[in-house]
């Protein structure tokens, strides 16, 4: 029985990555998000946890995470850029659902253990109303093209607000729904849940634009 979700421990120690992520993508952190980031418990109690796999679409999303965790690029990985240390892997998939599904499956085949690993999709997303730089944990993912939705279980009190997210197949020029928009999360979640328990599969997004 999981009494404390490993992903929550990760958020407590490292959610301040959002400041660097926002800077790398040209976003501005809102005052509320700065308070959230500054209030993170950096030194949470040490707990044994399963491997953590970070999945991002873009190099600009990967850069602050690589720096924060001291990840080194693995030589010989020609299909996807993969960075690693003792506790983390980070894979840069490229944009889109097909790229994300392929990168995640490849990472699992190379470095995964069925049922015991944490998968985190971290990156930027658009939103019609939220301030640029706001951080959101995703509680619902909808694939707009397929009309299918998933509900990532959030089994402990989240350390930031949550929001719904829509995954689209092409870049949007207008965010018609009051939800986050990206191009990978549905493929990430559906694929990762084949390899791990659903409560260990989560998406964390930073708002990057307001179309």
Q: What is the pLDDT along the chain (211 residues), one digit of tens a residue?
A: 333 444 444 444 444 455 555 555 545 444 444 444 333 323 323 345 567 899 999 998 898 888 888 899 998 888 999 999 988 899 999 999 999 999 999 999 988 876 678 899 999 999 999 888 888 999 999 999 999 999 999 877 777 899 999 999 998 888 988 999 999 999 999 999 999 988 889 999 999 888 6
pLDDT, position 50: 66
Half-sphere exposure of 166 toward its Cβ, with a 13 Å CA cutoff? Answer: 20
Measured between alpha carbons, how far is 184 from 96 in angstroms, rounded to an integer?
A: 5
Contact 80, 92 (CB under 8 A): yes
pLDDT, position 133: 85
Contact 26, 94 (CB under 8 A): no
pLDDT, position 17: 53
Strands 148-150 and 135-143: antiparallel
């Amino acid at each position: 029985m999981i009494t404390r979700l490993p992903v929550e421990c990760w958020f407590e120690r490292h959610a301040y990555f959002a400041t660097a992520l926002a800077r790398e993508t040209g976003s501005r952190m809102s005052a509320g998000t700065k308070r959230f980031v500054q209030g993170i418990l950096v030194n949470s109690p040490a707990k044994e946890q399963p491997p953590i796999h970070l999945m991002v679409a873009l190099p600009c999303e990967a850069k602050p995470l690589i720096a924060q965790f001291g990840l080194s690029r693995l030589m010989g990985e020609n299909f996807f850029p993969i960075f690693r240390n003792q506790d983390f892997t980070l894979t840069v998939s490229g944009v889109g659902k097909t790229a994300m599904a392929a990168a995640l499956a490849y990472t699992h085949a190379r470095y995964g253990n069925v049922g015991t690993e944490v998968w985190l999709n971290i990156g930027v997303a658009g939103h019609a109303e939220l301030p640029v730089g706001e951080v959101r944990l995703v509680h619902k993912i909808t694939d707009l093209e397929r009309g299918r939705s998933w509900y990532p279980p959030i089994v402990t009190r989240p350390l930031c607000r949550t929001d719904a997210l829509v995954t689209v197949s092409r870049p949007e020029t207008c965010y018609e729904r009051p939800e986050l928009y990206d191009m990978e999360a549905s493929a990430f979640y559906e694929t990762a849940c084949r390899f791990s328990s659903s409560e260990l599969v989560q998406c964390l997004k930073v708002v990057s634009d307001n179309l």
